[in-house]
Amino acid sequence: MKIKLWADLVDWPLEASIEGDVLTINGEEIDFSGIPEGYRLPGSAVGNKFFVETEYVERKDNALYFTLRLPVDWNSPEEYRNPVEPIVIDARSGPVKFPDTSPPAPPVIELPEIQEEPENGGFEPA
């Protein structure tokens, strides 16, 4: 399966796996065995929120091609929020490995150690 990813600002979890012509997304099985070679189906006909409605699910050269929404956050890495080239995954049997779109960890800033001044303002007895 050739999966093109469409960045979408949503907070949906996305886990998928493939077994033959069956794609399982978050536990929902979608069977594409009914799509013959050279035919296509609108993404809206799949009935799953991860499929882009304006794109197609099609079978070409014995492979399935389709577009899924890739959940991103407003501060996910730019390469996933706004890729220069479309991200395409060539997925085979088993779990689908999607890019990690989680925002980078904030930098750790070490603050200087604050030393307390004595109550007498730093004066020493003579």
pLDDT in tens, 104-125: 888 888 888 877 766 666 666 6
pTM above 0.85, yes or no: no
Q: Which residues is 62 bridged to in the sheet?
A: none
Tokens 């991200």, residue located: 87
User: Over the stretch 26-75, which tens digit does the pLDDT of each residue have?
Assistant: 999 999 999 999 999 999 999 999 999 999 999 999 999 999 999 999 99
